Structure 1
């Protein structure tokens, strides 16, 4: 596979320009499993190819506190236990093991700053890119509405939400229980309507109709309509009551923020645009944000953040925006 390279890249060598072109392709929001396979083959041509891609990727890890945050996230991801999921993990575990054999493979498997989908996401049965939504129907009448940047794999005994957010709905007359695995938890129901969001190490389950059960190594909880629970690898939080119109706003093409911490707002904006926005000023992370924005216009919200908090924007290659 040939990748278009930049014509004006300063003093970069032709090999380095190709490596940076790969990074741009991966951050475009349109990368596929075929691209990931082609990249692995490109990196395998020689040690120089692998080193060039590593250098292009690790540029993002040289961004001070951002790099430290990434390192902490990766350590947590490697350390966390996984929920048993027969029939789902085998293929990706094998792929991840093969990729880990080289430094370039590690960067493909665990991208710096989440700038592009991980290899496991690219290998999902169904996947959406930046700003893309998709509806799919599974057996027994199960309907799945996938939000942007979402990856799902389907096995006989469960659906795995690898990353992203999705809404699951069964017919009211359904009598078959189905399960959704995300991180260290399993959510199961018979005829419920519920959302599951998997962002980093945090998973959020929201019940919109009927009843769902959330199993976690810490404990098991039951959710009724208008109830929500968050869990991490090591703990599950208390159940809270929510406004379903806000929780499911993305299904109507909206982002609604009601005293939402700025860090969470930026995470949401990153779902709907290519590249990545990074908040460099940690003191603003918990600052509350109120507002309603259209999903297909995420930069409108970004402009309001710049004005409202007086932050300065710095745009870097690959769609990376630093707010300080």
Structure 2
């Protein structure tokens, strides 16, 4: 927590900058120093905004010298038509600091932190629709957790694990989804990100996104030239898989099949039994298991209800010569006639 003394000192420095920037001889070096101070701590910016707001009121009031009201408001970056004398400004800043310090114990017991992330999560087998503050929508699939942080400069999602579909409202701030060493940037589009145990896959449904290794951006708002080189721009239907910050594959998929999970259906097209089981296990506490490598390598296609492990196991008997054995929270899939284990 910030003490009253810290705040008083910060407000005095903010008041000094306010006075300096209003002087006719304020050059770009003064502005550069001010911006460095203001940018070094969110609390500095907040203190300056408080001084600014208080002085805008004071300068137009009877406390100020007659005729001293001016057009200064909202931002220190505006040009000023009238520059009050330094002495009068310091006097005003002193009053402003006194007025604000009366509020300190109530208003600024701690410095303004960066916006706290709003966390959303789903349990195994659940999905959830969330509308964000700008109207963008997120659908979380099974066993998913993400944090949303909106600032003045960007809309950032940190996907801790799981899978989510994003429908992004157009806006001037980039919409960034960070997951497992990758960043996906969009301005208005629809895409899905799945952060699995070993890799991250981004599937573009409509619009356009660019995907880049997180290290290239270092969290900066505007991509630089090197980032542009590192970024991969997707077209609708593209699925990009990244592993360890590098591209593992870029393929075209049927997006309606890819998004069938929203309606509780899992669609498989020529996948191995092992792959199908790994996907099905994401949706249920009851886990399917196949230990026989040859059986795990068998291929199948079809649509199955997510979370209904028994139905899948019974249906599997129609496709493949298998036996199903239940053991606690596991359903074992074994070759028919195989020796029991």
Poorly superposed stretches of 4+, deviation over 4 Å: none
SS at match of 2:247: coil
Please report how far the alpha carbon of residue 179 of structure 1 lies from its aligned counterpart in structure 2 after TM superposition: 1.0
Please report how far the alpha carbon of residue 285 of structure 1 lies from its aligned counterpart in structure 2 after TM superposition: 3.1
Question: After superposition, where does 1:240-279 map in structure 2 within 5 Å?
Answer: 240-279=251-290
Give the Cα separation in 2 of the matches to 1:150 and 1:284: 30
Indicate whether 1:206 and 2:199 are aligned. Answer: no
Which of 135, 138, 156 is 1:141 aligned to? 135
Output one character per residue of 1:234-257: Cα deviation in whole Å (capped at 9) or x when no partner: 531232111111111111221111
For structure 2, which runs of at least 5 residues remain unmatched after alignment?
1-117, 217-229, 335-341
Question: After superposition, where does 1:283-322 map in structure 2 within 5 Å?
Answer: 283-295=294-306, 297-317=308-328, 319-322=329-332
Question: After superposition, where does 1:9-20 map in structure 2 within 5 Å?
Answer: none
**Residue of structure 1 equivalent to 2:124:** 130
Please report how far the alpha carbon of residue 278 of structure 1 lies from its aligned counterpart in structure 2 after TM superposition: 2.5
SS at match of 2:211: strand
CA contact (8 A) 2:288 2:309 kept: no
TM superposition score normalised by structure 1: 0.56
Indicate whether 1:237 and 2:255 are aligned. Answer: no
Give the Cα separation in 2 of the matches to 1:285 and 1:230: 23
Give the Cα separation in 2 of the matches to 1:202 and 1:316: 31
CA contact (8 A) 2:313 2:333 kept: no
Structure number, greater radius of gyration: 2
TM superposition score normalised by structure 2: 0.54
Give the Cα separation in 1 of the matches to 2:255 and 2:238: 9
RMSD: 2.4
CA contact (8 A) 1:223 1:239 kept: no
Give the Cα separation in 1 of the matches to 2:298 and 2:245: 26
Q: Which moved more, 1:152-161 or 1:286-295?
A: 152-161
CA contact (8 A) 1:177 1:190 kept: yes
**Residue of structure 2 equivalent to 1:221:** 232
Give the Cα separation in 2 of the matches to 1:303 and 1:274: 18
Which of 144, 148, 151 is 1:150 aligned to? 144
Q: Count residues with an aligned counterpart.
A: 200
Give the Cα separation in 1 of the matches to 2:119 and 2:320: 40
Q: Decide whether aligned partners of structure 1 residues 231 and 284 sit closer, same or farther in structure 2, where only a CA change above 3 A counts.
A: farther
Which of 151, 168, 185 is 2:182 aligned to? 185
